[in-house]
Structures are given as structure tokens and as C-alpha cells.
Amino acid sequence: MTTKLDGIMIWVADVPTSVRFYDEAFGIAARWVRDEGDYAQLETGETTLQLAALAAAPTSGLQITPHQPDGPAAAVQLSLAVDDVLAAVTTAVKAGAVLAVEPVTKPWGQVVAYLRDRDGVLIELTGDGQ
């Protein structure tokens, strides 16, 4: 059996708003948005980042606990590799992200920062500090 990570789904309050946020904050454009506005796929390379409306969860037979923008982050994160972490943080914050942990240079030279998106999803940015 061969297994490959096909996609990551984030359940969000408002799919169109989240699509705009990820495009403005990180330059991640929509590959496809369902006409009803309750599902989207974003262009992230081989693995698809998917956004689905929290309100649609019951139709899938799921109970979903929403992320808490003002509470502790859920025990999962998106990790995005960027060319320049400092510039990416500035752009993301202007787009509405909340800085959770300032950029720091790790002993091995990688720069890492943590942000929260509009729904409270934890996002790690990694790359060069420039």
C-alpha cells in the first residue's frame, strides 16, 4: 500500500474571507472555490490546502470544534516555507494575521515565527531571515 498526503483541511467560519486572507497574507491563491462558497482548494504545491465551512461539517457527519482566535491554539499547525520570514510576517500581519511568536533564528540558522490566522489557526513560517 502506498500512502501520500493529499491535502490538509481547515474548517473555517467563512471560506471566501479565508481564501482572501491566505492570498493576501501568503500569496496562496485559490485553485478552486465551490460556487456555494463553502469549500475551496488553495494552490500550495503537491499537497492541497483545503478550506471548508464549519456550517458544512454536519452534512459530512462530523462534529467540529471551531478554532478559538482569542484562546489557546489547537494542537495542530500549518508550516509554510518562505524566502524571507521577516517580510512574510509583515505582509501577513497587514492582511490580518496575529503574531503569536516573534521571528527567532534557531541555532542551525533557520528563522521561525508563529502567527494565527483570522480563525485562530496556528501558522509556522520558516526560512531565511534576510
- The full length of the chain comes to 130
- 12 and 54 inside one domain: yes
The per-residue pLDDT for 129 is 58
Residue 65 maps to a domain: no
Tell me the residue range of the domain where 22 lies. Answer: 7-60
From residue 102, give the alpha-carbon distance in Å to each of 16, 20, 125. Answer: 28, 24, 10
Co-location of 96 and 123 in the same domain? yes
* 14 & 51 share domain: yes
11 and 46 assigned to the same domain: yes
3-state secondary structure of 15: helix
Domain of residue 90, CATH code: 3.10.180.10
Number of domains forming the structure of the chain: 2
Same domain assignment for residues 53 and 87: no
- Give the per-residue pLDDT at 130: 53
Q: Please state whether 109 falls in left (phi above 0), alpha (psi between -120 and 50) or beta.
A: left
What are the φ/ψ torsions at residue 41 (nearest 5 degrees)?
-115, 135
Question: Which distant-in-sequence residues (6+ apart) come within 8 Å of 100 by Cβ?
Answer: 73, 114, 115, 116, 122
The verdict on residue 22 lying in a domain is yes
The model's pTM is 0.91
The answer to the question of residue 67 being in a domain is: no
- Tally DSSP H helices, then E strands, for the chain: 2, 8
Predicted confidence at residue 87, as pLDDT, reads: 95
pLDDT along the chain (130 residues), means of 10: 92 96 97 94 92 90 89 93 96 98 94 97 86
Same domain, residue pair 83 and 121: yes
